[in-house]
Every structure is written in C-alpha cells, then in structure tokens.
Amino acid sequence: MHAYLACFQPECGATYDITQVIYTCPRCGGLLEARYDGSPGEPWTLKQVFRERRMSNLPIDQSGVWRYRELFPFLDNAAHIVTLREGQTPLLDAPRAASYAGLHRFTVKHQGYNPTGSFKDNGMTCGASQAVRLGMKRVACVSTGNTSASMAAYASAAGLQPLVFIPNGNIAFGKLAQALEYGGQTLQVEANFDQILALVRRLAERLGIYLLNSVNPFRIEGQKSIVIEMLDQLDWRVPDWIVLPGGNLGNTSAIGKALRELLAWGFIDRLPRLAVVQAEGSAPFWQFMQSEHRGSFPVVEHPETLATAIKIGDPVSWPKALKEITDSGGVVERATEQEIADAKAQIGLCGIGCEPASAATLAGARKLVAAGVIDPGAEVVAILTGNVMKDPDYIYRYHTGQLVAPGQVAIQATFGNPPVVVPNDEDRIAALLG
Ligand SMILES: *Cc1c(COP(=O)(O)O)cnc(C)c1O
Ligand SMILES: [Zn+2]
C-alpha cells in the first residue's frame, strides 16, 4: 500500500510525502494523519498470519505492535524498527469492577504492562522508528509524564539522543525518574506548557530535532495496535463499548481510526461505541460535546486533577476525537476526583491496579450504566492506560485518608486499606486477626 500524510481538515485536503518532517499541515495548520491507498490484504489470511507470529522469535513478531505491521505500513524498511517488545498486553476479566459498575462483565485491556508502563510505548515504537528512518539524531517532547518516560527509553534503545522539556514546578516524580534513568537530557524551562511547545518547535527546526509530541501522526499509527490486539484477543468479536480516559485525545483518535480502517478493510463488520472519560476539573471535551452549537472549543485555562496524565486543558487532537465519537455513536463522560479514586481502589481489589487516569474508565462506565446509556448486559472493554506503580504516593494517601484533591477537597478513603501498627505481641495480633 502507498503511504502518505494527509491533512485531517476535509476543506483543505492537502497531502504530503510520508518522509516529510512536518507535524501539522503547512498549508492550513490542521492535524496530519497517515493514510494508505488500497487494502492491506485478505482479512482471514492476515488474521492467521498475526496468530502465527505469536510463535515466532523475531523481535518484530514478538512486539504486540509490529505483529500487526500490515495495518500501518508507513515504513519501507523493517531495519528501521526500534522495539522493546511493547504491546502484548493482557485482556483481563475484572468481575469485582463489573459489579461496582453495575455490569455483568467488565474486561480491561491493560496497557500498563508495557515496557515503560503505559500505552505511550505502543505509539513511541512507531515514532522512534520513523525518526530512525528519517536519519534523525535527536528527538524531543514536552511532557512531565508518561510520554517523556517512553520517549527516553525508545530513543536510547535506538541510539538517538532524547531531549525532554518539562514545565517548571510541574513534575510527576515517578515518570520523571524514568526519563532520567533512560538517559533523557532533561531541560526544565521557566514557562508554561504551551510556551515551551512553541519554543521546542522553533528549536526542532533550527537544530534538526525530531518532535515526538502527541500530534506526531506516527505515534497515532502505533496506538492503533491497542485495539487491533484487543480484537485479536477477542477472536475479532467486536465489543459493544470501549471506554478510555481522555487527555490530549490522541488515544481516542488512534482507536477510532483503527476501528474505521478495520471496518473499511473487512476485518470487522461493525464499530463498537467509544466512551471517553475526562476528569471533572479538566474536561473541555466533555463541555464541548454538551454544548448545543459546538462553536469554539472551550479551553480550560487551569486544568486541575490528581490524575495528572489527563490534566490537559487544551487537547490538541480534539478535532480527530470529535470525528471518532461522532462516527462510533460514542459519548463523553466526566468523573469527579472522588469517583476516580474509588474506582481505582476497586480496580486494585481485582488484583489488577492502574494509575489514576486509567481508573476514570471504571468511574465513567459506572455513571453511564446508572444513566442508562450503557446496558448492564453490554460487553464493555476499558483501556487501562498506565501501571499502578506510576503514582504510589496517590495510593498511600488514599488508603490512609490523606488524599487531597485540588481546591483542598479531602478525598474520602471509601475503600481505604491502611497499614495497622501493632505491638510485638502474638496474643494481641492473633486476637486482631480473629
Ligand atoms: C497519555 C495518557 C492518557 C491520556 O491519553 P491522551 O491520548 O492524551 O488522551 C491517559 N492515561 C495515561 C496513563 C496516559 O499516559
Ligand atoms: Zn491542511
């Protein structure tokens, strides 16, 4: 299939060579996406090929992203692929979470099992491979979170230099620690996120640095594998709902694009509905979808939430996400800090665990079931985006009743499980344990 870059704005329609180093449309400033002429091949045959690759020891077959490479064929040389065996994440039954949500069944696709602990790896393997293909020596992103952890790992694995730009005083510690450990040259700039992004764009052009921010269309291609692998694990049975958290909305865009392409190419015969869940203090997309006329996008100037991975007031990929929600008959929900914290504890009690942003899925699903939007008998798959160990401080505070949300709102330890201090006394401990 012939691969090229296309402007996402239908009114513009500009197309560009797949090797052009651009991140938005040079003509209109719109978002870009990778497109392919033709079809990847006969679905039944390719589904068999995907299965057989699970038995292979080839690194690109073991990767849960590149195993599906025919569905995002933007590279022309497999030697450019940089893989840490990302993807291959489990689909887990979470019965306790199901009853919490009022559903018969609740399944999670856990992207926290990735090499750096989040779904960013699914995208970064593609972005880093494109950087290698383009002959880049340095890559950069602006992020305090999972993107920098993932980018640093993939760049270092590929022999590229990772440059991580972080806004001053806005550091998620566990994730920053990963970026440092994976060799990211980390520059803390005295400016806010948007100012730094503008700065980094100028530096990228000036110094020939490749940008791996969330608008990078190749990262979106890689994130398609999340839902492709999920469907493979479901023997290509399409669930009724896919629930995921929404921050910059890149993942919503990727999953929606994958599903539309799979439908067009004959791999599935219907689309699941998407449910995107935002945190209440950081819910511009939710607000946009509520508004009747959908005029200008209601940017949140000071987004607030303890779920830092979705603390985004001006999501870059909203035009794509709007299309995916519309095309799939999807919905956008929002959840409070308390709802997210309690849902997270319920996911923990399944023996699964996740980071706060991921738990917005269960919180949102529960509200959508209560509102009659999701049927209790529906097949619902939630995408858990990040690993439980990304944010241990949040967990300890929740269970000990010390978690405080923005605005000094105390979070109740509804399902708290604090450690108990006991004397070194066998009888008293035995009495306590009953
Ligand atoms: C990046 C991220 C999100 C948000 O994804 P978007 O594509 O920005 O909507 C959610 N959860 C986790 C753990 C993340 O790292
Ligand atoms: Zn354009």
pLDDT tens readout for residues 51-88 = 999 999 999 999 999 999 999 999 999 999 999 999 99
| Any atom of ligand 1 within 6 Å of the Cβ of 245 | yes
Kindly tell me if the per-residue pLDDT of 374 is higher than 80. Answer: yes
Cα 45 → chain centroid: 29
Round to whole Å and give the CA distance between 8 and 5: 9
Query: In the structure, what pLDDT confidence band is assigned to residue 170 with cuts at 50, 70 and 90?
Result: low
Going through 8-128 in order, the beta strands assigned E by DSSP cover 15-17, 32-36, 91-93, 106-110
Atom of ligand 1 nearest to the CA of 245: 10
Q: Rounded to the nearest 10 degrees, how much is the dihedral formed by the CA atoms of 186, 189, 195, 198?
A: -40
Please name the residue whose Cα sits nearest to atom 13 of ligand 1.
386
What's the CA-to-centroid distance between 194 and ligand 1, angstroms?
18
What is residue 169's predicted lDDT score, i.e. its pLDDT?
Answer: 64
Sequence-separated (6 or more) residues with CB below 8 Å from residue 98:
104, 105, 106
Q: What percent of the chain has pLDDT over 70?
A: 99
Cβ-Cβ contacts under 8 Å for 57 (sequence gap 6 or more): none
For ligand 1, atom 2: residue with the closest CA: 309
204: part of which helix (H) or strand (E)? helix 193-207
Neighbours of ion ligand 2 (CB under 5 A): 7, 9, 12, 14, 25, 27-28, 30
Q: Give the mean pLDDT of the chain.
A: 96
Contact in structure between 172 and 391 (CB atoms under 8 Å): yes
- Ligand found nearest the CA of 284: 1
Number of separate helices (H) and strands (E) present in the chain: 15, 15
Going 48 to 56 to 154 to 120, the CA torsion angle's sign is positive
CA of 312 to the centre of ligand 1 (A): 10
Q: Which positions ≥6 away from 95 have C-beta within 8 Å?
A: 105, 106, 350
The whole-number average pLDDT for the span 353-376 is: 98
pLDDT in tens, 321-350: 999 999 999 999 999 999 999 999 999 999
* Residue having the nearest C-alpha atom to atom 14 of ligand 1: 309
Architecture of the domain spanning 91-116+219-410: 3-Layer(aba) Sandwich (3.40)
What is the per-residue pLDDT for 143?
86
Q: 317-332: string of b/e by CB count within 10 Å (b at 16+)?
A: bbebbbbbbeebebbb
Q: Which ligand 1 atom minimizes the distance to the CA of 247?
A: 9
Tokens at 369, concatenated: 């079931």
Per DSSP, 405 falls in state E
The predicted pLDDT at position 173 comes to 80
Torsion of CA 297, 199, 301, 308, to 10 degrees: 100
- pTM for the structure as a whole: 0.97
Among 178, 213, 227, 251, name the best residue to mutate to test ligand 1's pocket (greatest count of ligand atoms within 8 A of Cβ): 251
Q: Could you give the angle at which helices 337-348 and 356-370 cross, rounded to 10 degrees?
A: 100
CA dihedral 262, 264, 270, 275 (to 10 degrees): 60
What are 72's strand-pairing partners?
none
Query: How many Å lie between the centroid of ligand 2 and the Cα of residue 106?
Result: 40
> What pLDDT sits at residue 271?
98
Mean pLDDT of 419-432: 96
Residue 197: per-residue pLDDT: 86
In DSSP notation, 2-35 reads -EEEEES-TTT--EEETT---SB-TTT--BEEEE
Phi/psi at 9 (5° precision): -75, 115
Q: Amino acid identity of 124? A: M
Q: How far apart are CA 376 and CA 99, in angstroms?
A: 10
| Backbone conformation region of residue 223, classed left if phi is above 0, alpha if psi is from -120 to 50, else beta | alpha
Q: Report how far ligand 1's centroid is from the alpha carbon of 354 (Å).
A: 12
Nearest protein Cα to ligand 1, atom 1: 309
Q: Is 387 in the pocket of ligand 1 (CB under 6 A)?
A: no
| Alpha carbon of 321 to ligand 2 centroid (Å) | 17
| Confidence (pLDDT) at 168 | 73
CA-CA distances (angstroms) from residue 358 to 205, 245, 265, 377? 35, 6, 30, 22
User: So where are the chain's domains?
Assistant: 91-116+219-410
